[in-house]
Amino acid sequence: MKKDRKSQPAKNTKANKKTLTIFDLPPRDTMRWNKQRKAIVVAAVEGGLITLRDARARYMLSVEEYLSWRRATKSSVTPKRRPKRAKTLRQIRFRQAA
């Protein structure tokens, strides 16, 4: 018996380390695309949850648009916070003001 592909989780994961499922995909009628929604669609295609053809039909995408999303998600690096450095700078400014 062959399993339904859409019920299986994707091989790769989202940024928060949860396995991506079909229920995590944005709705079909999404009009406003933010970075997170684009990244979820790209991860679903790359992980094998849906095919590129399915994603294009579901979200009315062109190949160029999908590739631009892919490039954007691959190149986006979230900077890490450095609270210790900010605290140190605050202390230095406070001392200079006094």
DSSP 26-70: PPTT-----HHHHHHHHHHHHHTSS-HHHHHHHHT--HHHHHHHH
Task: For residue range 36-88, list pLDDT tens digits in order.
Answer: 999 999 999 999 999 999 999 999 999 999 999 999 988 765 555 555 566 66
For residue 68, report the phi and psi dihedrals to the nearest 5 degrees: -70, -40
Q: What is the pLDDT of residue 1?
A: 46
Q: How many CB atoms lie within 10 A of CB 45?
A: 20
Q: Enumerate the domain spans of the chain.
A: 5-97
**Dist CA 55 CA 62 (whole Å):** 10
Does residue 9 contact residue 18 with C-beta atoms inside 8 Å?
no
CATH second-level architecture of 5-97?
Orthogonal Bundle (1.10)
Residue type, 42: V
pLDDT at 16 over 80: no
